[in-house]
Amino acid sequence: MNSETEVATFGGKMTERKILLSVIFVLSLWFGFLLSSTSIKAEAIIADHLAVSEFESIPDSVIEFIGDLYHIYYVHTSHGSQIVTGVSMIY
């Protein structure tokens, strides 16, 4: 005989542990939905061709940090060389 208490449900019997895990799961989903719907959304930063004049204001330490943190791999065809050239100009 099982030492856990069994509770009768519509679909059969569930142990108290399974019920507790089910309640925790449902509450986790509910809290996750609640937090995601009330979170503060950050405004996007757009750096297009109009922002080129601002690039000089980026400190070298930030460029080096990003260069160490991220690696860009880009396989290109005839028109893709602009991206590779632009990234190599940063370094």
Rounded Cα distance, 49 and 37, in Å: 34
Residue 44: inside a domain: no
Q: What is the pLDDT of residues 1-52, one digit of tens each?
A: 455 555 555 555 667 878 888 888 888 887 777 766 555 666 777 778 888 8
Is residue 34 domain-shared with residue 53, that is, in the same domain? no
Verdict on whether the full-model pTM lies above 0.85: no
Q: In which residue are the tokens 């297009």 written?
A: 48
Q: How many domains does the chain contain in total?
A: 2
Residues 53 and 82 in one domain: yes
Domain limits at 69? 49-90
pLDDT (tens digit, 9 = 90+) per residue, 41-68?
667 777 788 888 888 888 888 888 888 8
**Higher pLDDT residue, 1 or 86?**
86
